[in-house]
Structure 1
Amino acid sequence: MQWFLFVLILIGQCSFFTCHLYEYHFIQERKSWDDAQSYCREKYTDLATVSDMGDLERLTNPPQTDAWIGLRSINEADIKEWHWSLPGEKYNPREGEPEWGPNEPNNGGNHPENCVKITLSQKWYNVRCYHKLHFICYNDKVILIKEKKTWDKALDYCRANHSDLVSITDQQRWVQDRAKMADAEFVWLGMRYTCTLDLWFWVSDRLVCYHHWAQQERTEGCDRATATETDGEWYKKADNEK
């Protein structure tokens, strides 16, 4: 069977160490958390998901007041479970990153405080969701290119016309959403196997820490690159396939 692969590329800010797949927008309007979420999903991608505090340094208009981010508790219990607005993304706190303000999050007593705002000090506070605040939306910058190319030609095209083939360092929700738009089964990613070093690597010069290989697919082989199926699983493909 012949596989036809399309090209997935990344626009935007890439450095030797990191690739940023999204940009942030501070919205001056005041809305409840639910209305803010609806606004962001209509005009951008979603309410802001913050993977690290450096993300918010890329705000197009830095906030001068408290603002909603896309973090919300999904239950009313004393022990809350926090999820990002982006479907399927659970909040996983990282050691050494003190996002929450003092004594936060708390349960709010008889008045549940299930939504999260960020303050000027970049600390997070859970508050009642019906409050009307400014808010932060984000927009992803992953683009699907519907042209048939080998992996090397795809890499050259992305670097000449945009930034690079996409590298996935921790989450792939944005990539998977774009891949679903392809009318082919597979889409190239910016990962290749090198026989010289005997490892897989991203074109952004990052080693592969996060991965989403299909079962029994993570095997070595010269002249192999990585493609994602539209369901998000990764497959190794000969890099001369189009």
Structure 2
Amino acid sequence: MNAMEWMQTLLISGLCVPSFCADYRRQHCLIETPKSWSDAQSYCRERGHDLATVDDMGAMKSLLGLSADRADDELWIGLHHGGPEEWHWSLADEEFYREGERDYRNFGAMDDTSRYVSHVHGKWKTVDHTHLWFVCYDGNRQGGGRYVFVKEVRSWTGAQQYCRSHHTDLVSIRNPEENQAVRDVIGPYDLMIGLFKDAWHWSDGRNSSFRHWEQDSFVGLFPQSCAAMTGKGPGRWSQRSCDELRPFLCTCTRRWVVKVKVRSEDIQELNDPATLKQTQKLLNEAALSNHHKVAWRTNSDGQVFTKEQCLEEEREQPQDLCNIE
């Protein structure tokens, strides 16, 4: 069996599922020495990391566990204000959206200075930071019941907090069918939805739309504004001057080293650069998310695969192909 036949067999047989064999997991670490936001960013980057990016409420709970002993402090995370304004959905879960669904829009009226969106008669319009009724999305319900009409007048951040506490999040609309379903639920009323525009960006360049602001705390920006999370309660964020000195959170990665044993008559073919590159590409495409990647580690002789003497009992009994160290 040549190298590429082995690779295809490996993926099809299920003997070695790549997502179990190689995994880069996002972790966070608390640095207690107070620094400005930019100095904190440099500190994390000098160590091969970056300031923490928060993708969802699961990551928030992880951060709160780290900061439990600093409940009275505010800690820098990787979010900072600056650069182009972009549209985002409040519901940040990557698995919720298929390709192109984040970009569905049905605007009828737009004002470039407005940052929030309401839904009326099936069309969307931009609105200022005003108080309106709103629509929640509930992922535990089916059909039209997923769209919950809330007849309470709240600001956009207040509506977001309500939806996350009682349902899943403010409603995202991914296609014309969902747009019609929301229209059927709300009738002729003008309600806020989960689309918003801001110029906040993550230090590591990730495009996470997750925001966890204290209600209306980011209105009226400092000349240089960065996000800090409190270590108590739900860990809400506030915008602060980037020059203030605060403890901070870095995002790190954990690397799993995997040994793969392959039976092949041609060790040179296995170590061929083109074969290694293609195998790595197949592994990364097969089962790993955007947060993971596979990389080869060479041995002392500069080769990835080295020849071992096989024992007779190894030939007779199937061996595990994955050993996670």
TM-score by length of 2: 0.39
- The answer to whether 1:45 aligns with 2:46 is no
In structure 2, the partner of 1:70 is 78
Unaligned runs of 5+ in 2: 8-17, 86-112, 116-197, 264-274, 297-325
Taking a change above 3 Å as real, the CA distance of residues 191 and 185 of structure 1, as seen in their structure-2 partners, is: closer
Which of 85, 88, 96 is the matching residue for 2:203? 85
In structure 2, the partner of 1:22 is 26
In structure 1, the partner of 2:10 is none
- Residues 107 and 113 in structure 1, CA contact (< 8 A), matched pair in contact too: no
Deviations 1:80-118 (A, max 9, x none): 4111111x312413xxxx71111132232xx32421000
Matched residue SS, 1:135 = strand
Structure-2 separation of matches of 1:130 and 1:50: 21
Structure-2 separation of matches of 1:114 and 1:148: 52
Q: How many residues align?
A: 154
**How does 1:139-154 map onto structure 2 within 5 Å?**
139-143=252-256, 145=258, 149=262
Matched residue SS, 2:22 = strand
In structure 2, the partner of 1:185 is 277
Unaligned runs of 5+ in 1: 12-20, 151-182, 193-201, 204-209, 212-226, 231-242
In structure 1, the partner of 2:178 is none
Taking a change above 3 Å as real, the CA distance of residues 74 and 144 of structure 1, as seen in their structure-2 partners, is: farther
Structure-1 separation of matches of 2:61 and 2:54: 11
Taking a change above 3 Å as real, the CA distance of residues 2 and 106 of structure 1, as seen in their structure-2 partners, is: same
Shift of 1:57: 3.2
Structure-1 separation of matches of 2:284 and 2:295: 14
Paired amino acid for 1:185 = K
Shift of 1:36: 0.4
Taking a change above 3 Å as real, the CA distance of residues 104 and 90 of structure 1, as seen in their structure-2 partners, is: farther
- Residues 185 and 229 in structure 1, CA contact (< 8 A), matched pair in contact too: no
Taking a change above 3 Å as real, the CA distance of residues 229 and 130 of structure 1, as seen in their structure-2 partners, is: same
Compare the two structures and name the one with the higher helix fraction. 2
Taking a change above 3 Å as real, the CA distance of residues 149 and 135 of structure 1, as seen in their structure-2 partners, is: farther
- Residues 84 and 199 in structure 2, CA contact (< 8 A), matched pair in contact too: no
Structure-2 separation of matches of 1:91 and 1:28: 25
In structure 2, the partner of 1:115 is 226
- The answer to whether 1:10 aligns with 2:127 is no
Structure-1 separation of matches of 2:3 and 2:228: 50
Paired amino acid for 2:75 = A
Taking a change above 3 Å as real, the CA distance of residues 90 and 114 of structure 1, as seen in their structure-2 partners, is: farther
Paired amino acid for 1:124 = W
Matched residue SS, 1:10 = coil
In structure 2, the partner of 1:128 is 241
Paired amino acid for 1:128 = S
Overall identity of the aligned pairs, in %: 27
Taking a change above 3 Å as real, the CA distance of residues 133 and 29 of structure 1, as seen in their structure-2 partners, is: same
Taking a change above 3 Å as real, the CA distance of residues 149 and 81 of structure 1, as seen in their structure-2 partners, is: farther
- Residues 83 and 199 in structure 2, CA contact (< 8 A), matched pair in contact too: yes
- Residues 76 and 112 in structure 1, CA contact (< 8 A), matched pair in contact too: no
Which of 86, 106, 121 is the matching residue for 2:219? 106
Shift of 1:144: 6.1
Taking a change above 3 Å as real, the CA distance of residues 47 and 149 of structure 1, as seen in their structure-2 partners, is: farther
Paired amino acid for 1:82 = W
Shift of 1:34: 0.5
Paired amino acid for 2:218 = P
Give the greater-gyration-radius structure (CA): 2
Matched residue SS, 1:106 = coil
- The answer to whether 1:57 aligns with 2:70 is no
